[in-house]
Amino acid sequence: MNYSTCRSLILPSVVAFSLLLLVALVPAPAVAQNTVPGLLEPPGTAQVQDYGRPGYPRVQIYLWGNANHGVWKVEEGTDLLEYLSLAGQGDFRQGAETRVKNVLRIYRDGQVGADPVFETQLEDLFARQVESPVLQEGDVLVLESIERRRTFTFRQASQITGTIASVAALVFLLQD
């Protein structure tokens, strides 16, 4: 390959590289990013989840805690158990050493620091052992899972029994 051939290849390569560089440096149009609902949006445009049949009146409630939390518009007269079956995510695992208690509290009329209007364990609500209130405009539902360690388990009882039996067997063997 001679010098003139190299020169003829260099010029088109420099031109092509210059065009690629020019295209790469041209600013691209701005594209809107997805935002977290309610975080950077103007007031009153946050996402509200909807539950109910079209055309029926709704009440706005707020769900906090161990659930699909947020602002909900639910159909008037919606059964509390039906709604919690949709949005609730209680912790129902029971272990040998732990016990989980799922508690639902309903606050109404702007209560702050006061006793809830309604409080029950979810298990009682599911078993229909308590009568649930009708959801009203502005209700705040708090679903909480409280985990407690069991104070005395079957495992601990069997360990104590086994230890006592071993000591008793040792005493009887030593007496002979």
Report mean pLDDT in 10-residue bins for the chain, 176 residues. Answer: 60 62 56 42 63 89 83 89 78 65 86 82 86 89 81 78 88 81
**pTM passes above 0.75:** no
Q: How far is it, in rounded angstroms, from Cα 86 to Cα 134?
A: 16
Q: Report how many domains make up the chain.
A: 1
Residue 14 covered by a domain: no
Q: What pLDDT shows up at residue 4?
A: 62
Q: What pLDDT shows up at residue 59?
A: 92
Our CA dihedral for 166, 170, 172, 176, rounded to 10 degrees, sits at 160
- CA distance between the termini of the chain: 109
Q: Which domain range does residue 76 map to? A: 49-149
Backbone angles phi, psi at 81, to 5 degrees: -65, -40
Q: What pLDDT shows up at residue 172?
A: 84
For residue 119, give the CATH number of its domain.
Answer: 3.10.560
Pairing outcome for strands 70-75 and 49-51: parallel
Residue 84 covered by a domain: yes
Residue 169 covered by a domain: no
Q: What pLDDT shows up at residue 169?
A: 86
CA atoms within 13 A on the CB side of 174: 6
Q: Which residues of 81-96 are buried (b: 16+ CB within 10 A; e: fewer)?
A: eebbeebbebeeeeee
